Amino acid sequence: MRHQVLYLFLVAAALLGAGLCMMGGCNGGSSYYGGSVQTNPVSLLWTPVTLQQQMQTNKDLVVLDCRKKAARSDGTPYLPYDDEHITGAYYLDFFCFGDPYPTTDPQKYEAALSNLGLTRTTPICLYDAGIANPQGKVFFHLERLGFSDVHILDGGFPVWKSNNYPTSAVVPAARTATQFITTNPNNAIYAELAEMKTIYDTVANNSTQYVLTDFREPPLYYGHKICPDAIRTGCMPHCGLLDWHEYYNSATGRFLTKTELENVSRNAGMDPDKVNVLICNKGWRTGIAYFVLRHLGWPQSNLIHYVGGIRAWTKATPVQDYPMVSDACYDVGKNMPLGKRFSGAFGQIGQRIFCAGGYSLISPKPTSSPYTEASNRVEFYDLPQDTWGSMEPLPEPLAFSAGAGLNGYFYVLGGLDSTGNPSSKVYRGDPGAGSNQWQLVATSMIGGKNGSRFSYAAATVGNAIYVSGGLIDKDKLTTTNYSNEVLGYDGNNGWTTCTPLPQGRRCHAMVAIGTTLYVLGGFYYDDVNKKGVFLKDVWALDTTNMAAGWQQKADLAMTIAGHGAGVANGKIYIPGGTNATGNKYDVIEFDPAANGGTGASRLMMKKGMAPTPQSACIGWPRYWYFIGAHGNNVVTIGGYAGGTPNIFSTPNSGLTHFHQTYVYDVTRPDP
């Protein structure tokens, strides 16, 4: 109560003595919660009204567009500034400051700041694609370099444009260049790994000098999800959580009021009278957090921006000196050594999971689409040993093939060749051969169009490989190209036609338990109603009684496609995949023995650190991955999340092509 009375008194005094926030954008007035908080005479957060007024009256003002590259619908990268920006604004590539660390070559940002004609007293307003992270990083670095009059546009470009303020595609005339030279940067407001380690050790020894706060989303903090460039899950011990999204209203795209921002920060355990250490994955989210606390008047001397983040912390060794606590139900294995790949053939021989072909990133990355090419690489992961080995490359690049192990050999069937045309070939690989590990054992499969097919599934029962469904032509918008055929293959060009599936499909999963095949989910196109349909049906075929045909089982817990499946302890597990609501990192369990053999499906759940149950996850939303299982573990390798590789089209869009290995322990989640 004492603080509230004092707060009201100071606000009233400020209004009487200084008028109603002449510079605008106050969002709730000055904030005071103790002697350490500094009131800002001019708000750091500007509304569009304030920015428009300042642009009309302050000839020295420089407006900087901090938006990062995006991708068009065809995957082509572009700079949003070039298409449209606030009239009179200049572009600043925030990567000139380094990512995540401040660059060791100041000439990069010194040149950028000089070319924009900036000095430390230049009034600057930053804007972004809404409340996005680059502008926070730029604000932090400018303050670190001694800039004294920097502001952020509340809601960024979307709010400016929605209010019909002027925009343009014209680049304004160049400003008179200055010669910006770094002098005495305030490096006390950021920490790298060594400094963070010292701070952490102090906190671990019961010091109350520091407050550690993690600004990532709860699934990352708790370990249910992992940033692809981190190698361990969860958060630092002694570290609180404040999801950076809590700082703004997602419906309006605007920051909360100062009073609300103060309450959110303090409710997370932060304190302006202590040293607040801001942590995220690699120092992006914390740029926004740093700005918010400066906007509230929290002093620089009580803020430390840990720029290395969890990414650097989890890669440091020895591991025991850089602890993490996690509620994760999966472990992180070694990355694929031959690079990021997806949509390849996978199969298993014993405890080894083979990954053949697929699409890999072109290196060096081109400036325009396509970014991927069909690969002929073959490697295998030993799940219990967490080690990788490789085979000779396939005789040709292939993607969207089916794969299976049979009698010690690994088979790659069909797919798309390097020209994007469906293949009908079957290759047999011998991992034990010293050379000539691959043989062409069939030039054509049966069925389909000339035996060609891709985007289908395979599984082994006894001495035969069974394949199901897939596309028999490149036209994905014609229902008849979605095959319902099921074929048996003896490994030596011997084919049989089995009972077809009741529904054609692609991007589905097929596994075997004993002598029974299970087909789960997938996708087909309804060319009558002109729409794609995601499936959740499950069908079973007893290969010892083909005449009985496919028997329908209980549906999956949700529609899913682009997934694989692994069998552990007699149950089927489907990690990730995609459907109409987006990409998934959930895990679906299907128990064939439940309900008298009709089966039962559920989403696996995890209880622990989080206050409410969370979906059991595989690390990151993705599909078209490689998969295998051994013992209690199901492993997902590589994969794809859609979009242009490493081009960020929205804040936190993350990586889109993967080489990570996630090992999911089916016994770890709670029922």
The CA distance from 306 to 321, in Å, is 17
Q: What is the CA radius of gyration of the chain?
A: 28
For 377-392, the pLDDT digits (tens) are 999 999 999 999 999 9
The alpha carbon dihedral of 290, 292, 294, 298 has a sign of negative
The CATH-assigned architecture of domain 340-665 is: 6 Propeller (2.120)
CATH dotted code for 189-320: 3.40.250.10
In the DSSP assignment, the letter for residue 191 is: E
At 312, is the pLDDT very low, low, confident or very high (cuts 50, 70, 90)?
very high
Neighbours of 590 (CB within 10 A): 26
Looking at the DSSP assignment, which residues form a beta bridge with residue 465? 460, 489
Say yes or no: do domains 23-186 and 189-320 share a fold.
Answer: yes
Report yes or no: 328 and 224 within 8 Å, Cβ to Cβ: yes
At 645, is the pLDDT very low, low, confident or very high (cuts 50, 70, 90)?
low
Q: pLDDT exceeding 70 applies to what percent of the chain? A: 91
Mean pLDDT of all residues in 283-288: 93
For 7-42, the pLDDT digits (tens) are 333 233 333 333 333 333 333 332 222 334 444 446
For 119-172, the pLDDT digits (tens) are 999 999 999 999 888 999 999 999 999 999 999 999 999 999 999 999 999 999
Q: Please report, for the chain, the start and end positions of each structural domain, with discontinuous segments joined by +.
A: 23-186, 189-320, 340-665
- Return the pLDDT at 3: 32
| Single-letter amino acid code for the residue at 379 | E
Report yes or no: 327 and 335 within 8 Å, Cβ to Cβ: no
Q: What is the pTM of this model?
A: 0.84
Whether 227 has a pLDDT exceeding 50, the answer reads yes
Q: pLDDT exceeding 90 applies to what percent of the chain? A: 78
Which of 289, 277, 107, 308 minimizes the C-alpha distance to 189?
277
Structure tokens at 375: 């690969």
Which of 599, 604, 595 minimizes the C-alpha distance to 671?
604
Report yes or no: 665 and 329 within 8 Å, Cβ to Cβ: yes
| Single-letter amino acid code for the residue at 110 | E
CATH dotted code for 23-186: 3.40.250.10
* 3-state secondary structure string across 595-649: HHHCCEEEECEECCCCCCCEECECECCCECCEEEEECCEEEEEEEECCCCCCCCC
Length of the chain: 671
Which residues touch 402 (CB under 8 Å, ≥6 apart)? 345, 412, 413, 414, 415, 456, 457, 458, 467, 470
Structure tokens at 90: 């200049």
Which of 407, 402, 516 minimizes the C-alpha distance to 461?
516
The CA distance from 557 to 75, in Å, is 32
The CA distance from 629 to 364, in Å, is 34
Mean pLDDT of all residues in 342-350: 97
Torsions phi, psi of 433, nearest 5?
A: -75, 140
**4-13, 580-589, 652-661, 662-671: least confidently modelled range:** 4-13
**17-26, 188-197, 457-466, 640-649: least confidently modelled range:** 17-26
- Return the pLDDT at 364: 72
Please report which helix (H) or strand (E) contains residue 159, including its range. helix 156-162
| Single-letter amino acid code for the residue at 102 | P
For 57-86, the pLDDT digits (tens) are 999 999 999 999 887 766 677 899 999 999
- Return the pLDDT at 519: 98
